[in-house]
């Protein structure tokens, strides 16, 4: 589908990836409904984007029913980009019940509920696109990230299954899988350097991949250097061997990331 003249709801808009996605869509003529918990940052982002017709909707997706309420407030939508997410790093025993509930709701439950609310009107019109920003961790589970990986595995399964359910309806479903990203995301936020051997992608590449996925109705897009995608595919196919080969380095890095994100929620 084309983006020019469409209305697209973007969650997590004030994060590094969200800003890049917003710009890529706005440059192609989309009118954006920008959502996050930070009203002042949303207003500033809306004023900085190219094009017109952008507006903001403040929403905390960790609250019960917030996803459906956001869809209702957004009005008629051509595109939904479910990008908001919580870090969810650390061992399972480190999660309070409240933090666990928030991670599961924001990262998995809210996107599913928003898709359910948005898809019906799209199917009735015979057009639309649902986009889910997941992670390469939807293909393999690193240490100290069991909850995070569970939400990303779940989101990938949901998106691919929903795509089949909506086949022939005119409504597409796309999944974006960023790997290590510099200047945004968990490594940037925790001030931990991603492993240099695998390379990194940029927020702009994630934004461009999201826009292109909508235009071409792509089912799944890895946003990572090829060697990183191959590493994820190897870990997905041979999880025990991969864990044995990388465990020591992966645990040390994961613990640094978890400590760096301990104050974020």
Cβ(146)–Cβ(154) below 8 Å: no
Cβ burial of 205 (10 Å; 0-12, 13-18, 19+) is: middle
Could you say which DSSP state residue 2 is in?
-
Could you say which DSSP state residue 56 is in?
E
Q: Looking at 132, 140, 148, 187, which residue is catalytic?
A: 148
Chain centre distance of CA 163: 17
Full DSSP string of 109-158: IHHHHHHHHHHHHHHHHT-EEEEEE--GGGT---TT-HHHHHHHHHHHHH
Reply yes or no on whether 238 is catalytic: no
Chain centre distance of CA 245: 28
Structure tokens at 81: 């980009």
Active-site positions? 148
């Amino acid at each position: 589908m084309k983006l020019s003249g469409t209305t697209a709801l973007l969650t997590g808009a004030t994060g590094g990836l969200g800003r890049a996605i917003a710009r890529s869509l706005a440059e192609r003529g989309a009118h954006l409904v920008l959502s996050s918990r930070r009203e002042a940052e949303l207003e500033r982002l809306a004023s900085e984007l190219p094009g017109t017709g952008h507006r903001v909707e403040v929403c905390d997706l960790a609250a019960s029913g917030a996803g459906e309420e956001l869809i209702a407030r957004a009005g008629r939508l051509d595109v939904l980009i479910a990008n908001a997410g919580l870090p969810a790093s650390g061992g399972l025993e480190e999660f309070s019940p409240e933090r666990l509930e928030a991670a599961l709701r924001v990262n998995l439950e809210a996107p599913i509920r928003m898709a359910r609310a948005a898809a019906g009107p799209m199917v009735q019109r015979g057009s639309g696109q649902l986009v889910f920003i997941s992670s390469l961790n939807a293909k393999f589970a690193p240490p100290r990230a069991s909850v995070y990986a569970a939400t990303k595995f779940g989101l990938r399964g949901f998106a691919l299954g929903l795509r089949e359910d909506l086949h022939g309806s005119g409504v597409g479903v796309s999944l974006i899988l960023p790997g290590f990203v510099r200047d945004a995301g968990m490594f940037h936020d925790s001030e931990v350097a991603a492993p240099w051997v695998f390379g990194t992608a940029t927020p702009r590449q994630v934004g461009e991949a999201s826009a292109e996925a909508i235009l071409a109705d792509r089912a799944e897009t890895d946003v990572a250097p090829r060697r990183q995608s191959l590493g994820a595919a190897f870990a997905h196919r041979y999880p025990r061997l991969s864990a044995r080969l990388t465990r020591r380095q992966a645990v040390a890095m994961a613990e640094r990331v978890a400590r760096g994100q301990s104050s974020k929620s």
